[in-house]
Amino acid sequence: MERLAAEQRIEELRKQINHHNRLYHIEDRPEITDQEYDVLMRELQTLEDLFPDMVTPDSPTQRVGGAPLAAFEKVVHKTPMLSLANAFGEADLRDFDRRVRQTLGRDEVSYVCELKIDGLAVSLQYENGYFIQGSTRGDGQTGEDITQNLRTIRSIPLRLTRPVTLEVRGEAFMPKRAFEKLNKEREAQGEALFANPRNSAAGSLRQLDPKIAASRSLDTFIYGLGELEGETVESHSQALELMGSLGFKINPEWRVFTSIDDVITFVEGWVEKRPHLPYEIDGMVIKVDRYADQRALGFTAKSPRWAIAYKFPAEEAVTRLVGIEISVGRTGVVTPTALLDPVGIAGTTVKRASLHNEDIIREKGLLIGDSVIVRKAGDIIPEIVAVLPDRRKGDEQPFHMPTHCPECGSELVRLDEEVALRCINPDCPALIREGMIHFVSRLAMNIEGLGEKVVSQLFAKGLIGSVADIYYLKERREELIGLERMGEKSVDNLLDAIEASKQNSLERLLFGLGIRLVGSKAARVLAEHFGSLDRLMQATQEELMAIDEIGPKMAESIVAYFSLPQVGDLIKRLEAAGVNTLYKGVRLAEAADLPFSGKTVVLTGTLATLTRQEAEEKITSMGGKVTGSVSAKTDLVIAGEKAGSKLEKAQKLGVAVLDEAGFLELLKQMTAH
């Protein structure tokens, strides 16, 4: 391509990609599929590789992160980033309102109410519309330069819609789903888990290697205007609208009220709604709207007099640590779990709390018998926040992690400087039993009637010793009938379910095998790419790494797994039993012509003729993607009986809705074609 044509095409691609970035990450209404977006990005990257002098700092390709830093530079904030005073109840809010009205000398004041995002406060500076620097809040006067890390967040525009020079403040955060995914990955690799999304966001942005931040799916909401050159705004609400028009992501849940009663009603309403948000909030922020009023109210030494943060009631309780239980997972990781005196938190009874690993027990200074503060925030597993040492009576006992596996007696080890202790004995009963429980689970082979208790019973009785043995149980039918709660009918139903599972597509088998680092999504990617288990088993590490979403560690793990002689024997036994080893889904190239291709679908309510898993499989096999929550990105909601809030949200957003009969008719039409 000639230089002039390349320059024009590069500019055109950047405009298209920035447009779609805004639609996807800010306005939540994508117009193209992920595959189509990737095609645009690949073309831009190819052209920039051919003409490297055309690469600009605001190019979408520059979000991947640069070279690792030696240290963060200090940044002095031109306008201090002060913290807010706190309110803990209605009385505090009314007192704030009284002080504001008294100082301003009038009864009516406009307030802006916003969600208080639980993340890391950041400052972003733009010059003539280009992002030039980003920093942390730090101590309010001086922060750290984290520009390279912030550039990786796709909701932060690298170039504004107009050439404006300004500074804005906002919150960088990690969505709940990204947080859960990150902790699952860290747990699988034996790394220390993050305690909550806020810590994970802060830890990600303070990485010296920007590529780590780029991998963490961080997001932002911009909530404040620090400085603005050449233009004037008269209120905070006008500033929010201006910043939204410039390309910043603004949280949509802000409102303006002229009555403190309306403010209190709005704030209290979010106490109930907060667990349903896809991100964490820890309160609400109430600000006097007009800038002239803000200037008249002024500041204290620590905080502005024109704003206050309402803190939600803590989802915490004090209880007693009565013991610590040790369990061994299918990967050999030994995990301690706190056993607690039952205590009510956020409408549920909590009896157990995750401790993750020995380091956390040591860091918190836990003793058996301690009084502890337990927290359950949103959908996060209950955790011990802190110990109350002043309540100790003297009979508390220290806890020591075992040096040997509680199941097989083998010495526990730490691999590659992992935090977690592992049992590496391949014959450990716990590894074998947990591996079989995983194999039959819903996302794996999905064998109905073969749950955790049944697997444990069959294993204890010596009826199964590997996942392959499951497919030879029909030869031991009479022995099965003699087991607890296993009559003739239930045994026959179980054997039928086992037989039916032989026809599963390859990705289920791959996930069920429990290959380290290979989750359900990676299993589908591998199955679709290779088409057969035999082809995958022959793949080299280089071939695997050439696939999107398969990194070097996963590739190494896959090659190592299939090189084990016992794995080869296991696969032969599964094949001999008639277990399918081919991919039965729709290949990407074939999916383009299907009605579900590129569509995002949400299932809600109860379906009478299909299980949730069966419905998901039918949708994904025909090119669709099933997600758990409704948003503007959702293309279709399939609503069964007793559909609740998801159906209501779909109707509010104008998302297409099908009942079960309509869904079945659509499937019938697709099958007919």
Tell me the catalytic residues. 116
Give the C-alpha separation, 488 to 491, whole Å.
5
User: What string of H, E and C letters represents the secondary structure of 113-166?
Assistant: EEEEECCEEEEEEEECCEEEEEEECCCCCEEEECHHHHHCCCCCCCECCCCCCE
Query: Considering only CA atoms, which of 403, 420, 411, 402 is closest in space to residue 355?
Result: 420
Token couple for 597: 């291709």
Query: Considering only CA atoms, which of 600, 597, 602, 599 is closest in space to residue 615?
Result: 602
SS3 state at 654? coil
Q: Are 65 and 152 in contact (CB under 8 A)?
A: yes
- Looking at the DSSP bridge assignments, the partners of residue 582 are 532
Give the C-alpha separation, 417 to 96, whole Å.
52
Query: Considering only CA atoms, which of 608, 588, 586, 603 is closest in space to residue 639?
Result: 603
Give the C-alpha separation, 620 to 601, whole Å.
9
Surface-to-core class of residue 497, CB atoms within 10 Å of its CB (0-12 exposed, 13-18 middle, 19+ buried)? middle
Token couple for 346: 């956020």
Residue 248 to residues 27, 119, 124, 136: CA-CA distances in angstroms? 10, 17, 11, 18
Across 270-293, b (16+ Cβ under 10 Å) vs e yields beeebeebebbbbbbbbbbbbbeb
Q: Are 295 and 126 in contact (CB under 8 A)?
A: no
Helix, strand, coil % over all residues of the chain, rounded to 5: 40, 20, 40
Residue 3 to residues 6, 7, 51, 528: CA-CA distances in angstroms? 5, 6, 8, 39
Token couple for 273: 């709604």
Q: Are 646 and 637 in contact (CB under 8 A)?
A: yes
User: What string of H, E and C letters represents the secondary structure of 48-93?
Assistant: HHHCHHHCCCCCHHHHCCCCCCCCCCEEECCCCCCCCEEECCHHHH
Tell me which amino acid residue 258 is.
T
Tell me which amino acid residue 282 is.
D
Token couple for 308: 């206050």
Question: Beta-carbon neighbour count of residue 67 at 10 Å?
Answer: 10
Tell me which amino acid residue 3 is.
R
